[in-house]
Amino acid sequence: MSAFVPALRALARPSVRRMVKPVVAQRTFVATPRRFAARPAFMEKEQPRLRLGAVAPNFVAETTHGKLDFHQYIGDSWCILFSHPADFTPVCTTELGAFAKLRPEFDARNVKLIGLSANGLAQHDEWVKDIDEVTGSAMHAGSDGSFPVIADETREVAWLYDMVDQAQIESLATAFTIRSVFIIDPAKKIRLVMTYPASTGRNTAEVLRVVDSLQTADKNGIATPVNWTAGEDVIVPPTVSTQDAKKKFGADNVRELKPYLRFTTLRK
Ligand code: BEZ
């Protein structure tokens, strides 16, 4: 977990904390890496591998919006499940605030958000106050940017989603959860998995871009090229002949650069 974890451990030491002047008001800094007294029984098995196209495992969990059944929560929407190493950590704070501020963009695409970190509800509630304070988001329950955050203290949901770091399983120490993103479609199928290092915050524009790409591909039977963004030309997939593409998109609307590389413009 690179230099960050020793730095966080150092920050958690009372002698160091006394020297660090808090930037914002007086709440306790609780990014305390824990040790498991013993490995939980569910960790004795191999951590599941989640593959694109597989059904996202269902679970029931406590969240900042109450207890919920994951598949019921998704309903007929798309869903982004994203995990965080721990509450009260700096990178995660910036990420959650950014996702909360983008709620209108996700709503417009029929996407529900749900976060996860391996802390309890009381900590989540306190942390959400900090997130709103420092990022200007409105993430607290009942407000515009609000979405549930799973309180996965036991790491059972993290385990189901292959988000427990191998080194942590072996050493029992520093049980931060891995920074992952899952895009799940209304059929509850996993459509994207991204796993990031703890030291790298995610790119919200990229998450939205992939949602746009998947939804456009599903609707129109196309693929999208490198760095594509919504509204730009799309690719005719190799499974569609040029003749069929011309029937579908218009005789003058298929540009063939190579027999296998064909572009078209989606007309509204
Ligand atoms: C964070 O800032 O979110 C973080 C950084 C390193 C390790 C764990 C969390």
Evaluate: CB of 178 within 6 angstroms of ligand 1: no
Q: Which of 34, 72, 12 is nearest to 154 (CA)?
A: 34
Q: Where are the domains of the chain?
A: 22-201, 221-264
Question: 213 pLDDT band (50/70/90 cuts)?
Answer: very high
Mean pLDDT of the residues in the chain: 87
**What is the percent of the chain with per-residue pLDDT over 90, rounded to a whole number?**
69
Site to substitute for ligand 1 among 89, 176, 180, most atoms within 8 A of C-beta = 89
Q: Are 190 and 54 in contact (CB under 8 A)?
A: yes
Q: Which of 48, 165, 166 is nearest to 118 (CA)?
A: 165
pLDDT in tens, 167-176: 766 765 655 7
Question: Rounded to an integer, what distance in angstroms lies between the CA atom of residue 248 and that of residue 243?
Answer: 9
Q: Which of 50, 75, 41 is nearest to 187 (CA)?
A: 75
pLDDT at 142: 86
22-201 topology per CATH: Glutaredoxin (3.40.30)
Question: Rounded to an integer, what distance in angstroms lies between the CA atom of residue 128 and that of residue 117?
Answer: 12
Question: Rounded to an integer, what distance in angstroms lies between the CA atom of residue 147 and that of residue 113?
Answer: 6
Evaluate: CB of 85 within 6 angstroms of ligand 1: yes
pLDDT at 24: 41
Active site residue 92: yes
pLDDT of 11 above 50: no
Q: Are 150 and 22 in contact (CB under 8 A)?
A: no
pLDDT of 225 above 80: yes
pLDDT in tens, 32-87: 555 666 677 777 777 788 999 999 999 999 999 999 999 999 999 999 999 998 99
* Bridge partner list, 113: 80
